[in-house]
Amino acid sequence: MCGRFNLRTPAAQLAAFFDIVFDPPLQAALAPRFNIAPSQPVLIIHEQAGRNSADLVCWGLVPGWARDPEIGNRMINARAETVAEKPSFRAAFRHRRCLVPATGFYEWQKTGGQQKQPWHIHHPDNSPLAFAGIWENWEGPDGSSLQTCAIITTEANSRMSPIHHRMPVILQPDDFATWLAPQSDQHDSLESLLVPCPDDTLVTRPIDTWVNRPANEGPDCLRPPPDPPTTGGRLFE
């Protein structure tokens, strides 16, 4: 799964990587965030009027047919294997795909005890990650609207599998246009993108349990643990 991530990449670098021009109010809101959790605002990139556009939306997808927006609390991830068919996700997968920018993400490894070991996963050079996502616009009976998203996950590659059996789908820049094209109905081409990234794409590092609380924010989320794990998980360089 993907239940927590960070976005620390400067806005100018994000703009270049995703070929986008941020509106000044949005760019001003893109301060570094070290512990992004479900139900919080997240940045998405989607196609609008033939060009890439950016918005802040709520993490946790609410289908258009939902009566209660609280359903989004349970829909932070969509499985690559079922996203095209599952009623909650299939309309968004067909018409409203997006990219969710990140610098790294967190996963918790079972260690045999009661407490799990958190790991930080990122590119070796901390360049941006582009998670495959879907988004929706929900309208309430009172006329209110809510934009939401979910991150698509796939089976873990061999680098991630000692930590967790799932990971987010991470797209490469050459695939952005295909993924974002809103009218694309070539399901085979789209689903072929929903695979684990190559093993050498990412590095994984154990971090302190301070990151466990979603309320904790700041660089301390990335600090090393006082006693790095020596068994079970492997420190991948």
Q: Which residues are catalytic?
A: 2, 107
Distance of CA 82 to the CA centre of its chain: 17
| Among 128, 132, 76, CA closest to 99 | 132
| Among 236, 64, 66, 213, CA closest to 137 | 64
Is residue 49 within a helix (H) or strand (E), and if so which, with residue range?
A: none
With contact defined as beta carbons under 8 Å apart, do 206 and 229 qualify? yes
- How would you class 85 by CB atoms within 10 Å of its CB: exposed for 0-12, middle for 13-18, buried for 19 or more? exposed
How far apart, in whole angstroms, are the C-alpha atoms of residue 218 and residue 220?
Answer: 5
- How would you class 237 by CB atoms within 10 Å of its CB: exposed for 0-12, middle for 13-18, buried for 19 or more? exposed
How far apart, in whole angstroms, are the C-alpha atoms of residue 45 and residue 39?
Answer: 18
With contact defined as beta carbons under 8 Å apart, do 180 and 98 qualify? yes
| Among 38, 43, 48, CA closest to 28 | 43
Q: Name 37's Cβ contacts closer than 8 Å, sequence gap at least 6.
A: 3, 4, 59, 214
